[in-house]
């Protein structure tokens, strides 16, 4: 074992000079971005501004370039442009970079107009600077991406990692190989019970024991150690930590088996103890206020726009079928509370199904002639704008379902594990699932599972821009949705 460890360490040490820190990529990106923003601005000044207005001092443009560089640095960081996981993605998350750059430019324009200094700068310079910078930032990332992939194949970014533990927790090695292959090279596994015959191990102890790991660290053959031991053996874990704490490499504690079910979560601290943060209240804080303003403003706008519909549709409904104009139905809303959802009535009054024991089908005999038109154009949903103003619903969110709605003859709650997670936010008149084709009748369990999957994606990835995108897509498909009947 000693000979094998020594050989491994020697071979690794030879290639050490070729290795690069993953943090270097982020630093290179920062320098590149700042350089492009500054150089392009100065270049266009000399090529255009200095030629057409030679009396304009360059200092005026240098000030705005310095401000834009600082602002872009903050926004790029906030958008996650330099985060390790994004940097090592195949396309370096160019979409995030372009969004951050667009916000930077928009903020600069807003400030310039607010301070009434926009006339001090050439519009040709500003527009050219924005677009040329955007193009060069994209080209630079594409080039850097090719270099990263080439270097990663040679293992130049990978930290040589030893896993201490050979039981079920050692499965972290497979996770690292799959999701962090550019930055992690698994050197091998070590068993902390040196030389002890132990049954039930899932992987061989290829590196030997803790003493062998320490020796490889001293030989500069290991960059990082991950302790993958059962959390219900604290004395054993403390012993391993005590022995490895004298080494100058990062030491990490792998999650116990339950941790593999909650990947992507962050750790936070409560009273100084690290705890895994599983779920947060979605759309909270300023986001909650922003969405509330969005709902009220847009709902009012659409109500004003649809005022003629509210005058005509009730009269037509009465002509085709006696009974109330509005259909009121109990549905599940925020925090699983029952709310009363309003719609224009589309069925004959005596055939209505308030609990939706039978979902509406194509050519359903319960639907009136005018009801077919209202459902096909989604005009029957317009009264829900009052639900939005009342605070029971949002304009965009998971669609509320009736209490007895079923898929494949089974209640939604019984067939989808995380179904109730849809109710962590207010339901919406339209939603991410609807604009992606998952609306209407749910004949199979797969259909409701897919709808819930899209709803949960919306909750986890909410932004004001996503809402605007959904509203725009809704307006585009509203009159040609084959599932609206």
Higher pLDDT, 66 or 460: 66
Residue pair 33/141 in contact (Cβ under 8 Å)? The answer is no
Tens digit of pLDDT for each residue in 126-156?
999 999 999 999 998 888 878 877 777 777 7
Residue 319 pLDDT: 85
C-alpha 258 chain-centroid distance = 23
Residue 390 pLDDT: 92
Tens digit of pLDDT for each residue in 15-33?
444 677 767 777 888 899 9
- Edge to edge, the sheet with strand 251-253 lists 184-190, 159-164, 224-227, 251-253
> For residues 46 and 346, what is the distance between their CA atoms, to the nearest angstrom?
67
Residue 125 pLDDT: 93
Residue 124 pLDDT: 93
Rounded to an integer, the average pLDDT of 288-298 is 91
DSSP letter string over 48-87?
Answer: IIHHH-TTS-HHHHHHHHHHHHHHHHHHHHHTTTT-HHHH
Q: What architecture does CATH give domain 2-17+158-277? A: 3-Layer(aba) Sandwich (3.40)
Higher pLDDT, 381 or 358: 381
Give percent above pLDDT 70 in the chain.
87
Give percent above pLDDT 90 in the chain.
33
Rounded to an integer, the average pLDDT of 420-438 is 90
Residue 347 pLDDT: 84
Tens digit of pLDDT for each residue in 414-428?
778 788 888 899 999
pLDDT band, residue 41 (cuts 50/70/90): very high
Residue 3 pLDDT: 35
CA distances (Å), origin 141, targets 97, 149, 182, 475? 10, 12, 17, 35
pTM: 0.57
CA distances (Å), origin 241, targets 78, 260, 274, 430? 35, 22, 17, 53
Residue pair 446/404 in contact (Cβ under 8 Å)? The answer is no
Residue 481 pLDDT: 58
Residue 45 DSSP class:
I
> For residues 333 and 450, what is the distance between their CA atoms, to the nearest angstrom?
20
How high does pLDDT run on average in the chain? Answer: 83
Tens digit of pLDDT for each residue in 439-455?
766 778 888 888 999 99
Residue 87 pLDDT: 59
Higher pLDDT, 69 or 475: 69
Higher pLDDT, 378 or 238: 238
CA distances (Å), origin 318, targets 313, 343, 345, 348, 350? 9, 15, 10, 10, 14
Rounded to an integer, the average pLDDT of 297-317 is 91
Residue 277 pLDDT: 77
Residue 201 pLDDT: 63
> For residues 313 and 300, what is the distance between their CA atoms, to the nearest angstrom?
19
Helix axes 234-244, 210-218, angle to 10 degrees: 20
Higher pLDDT, 123 or 1: 123
pLDDT at position 197 over 60: no
pLDDT band, residue 241 (cuts 50/70/90): very high
Alpha helical stretches, state H, 154-285: 172-179, 210-218, 234-244
Rounded to an integer, the average pLDDT of 245-268 is 84
Rounded to an integer, the average pLDDT of 289-296 is 91
Rounded to an integer, the average pLDDT of 41-49 is 93
pLDDT at position 265 over 50: yes
pLDDT at position 275 over 90: no
pLDDT at position 5 over 70: no
- Lowest-pLDDT range of 5-9, 139-143, 166-170, 201-205: 5-9
Residue 376 pLDDT: 81
Rounded to an integer, the average pLDDT of 98-127 is 89
pLDDT at position 332 over 50: yes
Residue 159 pLDDT: 86
Rounded to an integer, the average pLDDT of 27-50 is 92
Domain boundaries defined on the chain: 2-17+158-277, 20-153, 286-477
Tens digit of pLDDT for each residue in 368-401?
888 888 888 888 889 999 999 999 999 999 998 8
434 token code pair:
């609807």
pLDDT band, residue 406 (cuts 50/70/90): confident
C-alpha 201 chain-centroid distance = 37
Residue pair 398/331 in contact (Cβ under 8 Å)? The answer is no
């Amino acid at each position: 074992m000693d000979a094998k460890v020594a050989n491994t360490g020697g071979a690794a040490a030879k290639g050490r000079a070729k290795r690069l820190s993953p943090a270097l990529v982020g630093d290179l990106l920062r320098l590149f971005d700042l350089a492009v923003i500054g150089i392009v601005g100065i270049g266009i000044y000399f090529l255009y501004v200095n030629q057409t207005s030679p009396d304009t001092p360059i200092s005026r443009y240098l000030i705005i370039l310095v401000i834009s560089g600082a602002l872009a640095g903050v926004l790029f960081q906030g958008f996650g442009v330099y985060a390790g996981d994004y940097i090592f993605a195949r396309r370096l998350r160019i979409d995030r970079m372009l969004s951050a750059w667009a916000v930077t430019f928009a903020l600069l324009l807003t400030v310039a107009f607010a301070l009434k200094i926009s006339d001090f700068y050439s519009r040709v310079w500003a527009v050219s600077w924005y677009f040329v910078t955007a193009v060069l930032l994209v080209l630079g990332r594409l080039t850097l991406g090719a270099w990263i992939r080439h270097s990663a194949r040679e293992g130049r970014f990978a930290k040589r990692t030893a896993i201490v533990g050979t039981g079920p927790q050692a499965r972290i090695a497979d996770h690292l190989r799959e999701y962090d292959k550019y930055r992690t090279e698994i050197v091998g596994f070590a068993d902390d019970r040196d030389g002890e015959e132990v049954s039930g191990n899932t992987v061989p102890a290829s590196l030997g024991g803790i003493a062998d790991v320490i020796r490889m660290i001293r030989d500069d053959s290991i960059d990082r150690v991950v302790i993958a031991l059962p959390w219900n053996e604290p004395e054993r874990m403390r012993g391993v930590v005590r022995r490895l704490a004298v080494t100058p490499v990062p030491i990490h504690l792998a999650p116990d088996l339950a941790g593999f079910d909650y990947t992507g979560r962050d750790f936070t601290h409560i009273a100084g103890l690290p705890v895994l943060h599983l779920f947060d209240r979605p759309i909270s804080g300023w986001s909650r206020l922003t969405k509330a303003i969005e709902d009220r403003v847009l709902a009012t706008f659409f109500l004003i726009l649809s005022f003629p519909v509210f005058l005509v549709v009730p009269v037509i409904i009465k002509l085709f079928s006696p009974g109330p104009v509005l259909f009121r139905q109990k549905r599940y809303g925020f925090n699983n509370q029952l709310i009363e959802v309003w719609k224009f009535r589309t069925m004959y009054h005596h055939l209505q199904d308030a609990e939706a024991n039978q979902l509406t089908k194509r050519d359903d005999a319960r639907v009136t002639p005018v009801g077919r038109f209202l459902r096909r154009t989604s005009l029957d949903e317009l009264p829900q704008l009052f639900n939005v103003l009342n605070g029971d619903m949002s304009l965009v969110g998971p669609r509320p379902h009736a209490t007895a709605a079923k898929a494949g003859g089974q209640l939604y709650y019984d067939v989808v594990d995380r179904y109730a997670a849809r109710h962590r936010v207010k339901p919406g008149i339209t939603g991410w699932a609807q604009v992606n084709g998952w609306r209407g009748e749910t004949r199979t369990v797969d259909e409701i599972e897919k709808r819930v999957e899209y709803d949960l994606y919306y909750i986890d990835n909410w932004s004001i821009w996503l809402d605007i995108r959904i509203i725009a897509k809704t307006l585009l498909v509203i009159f040609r949705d084959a599932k609206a009947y």
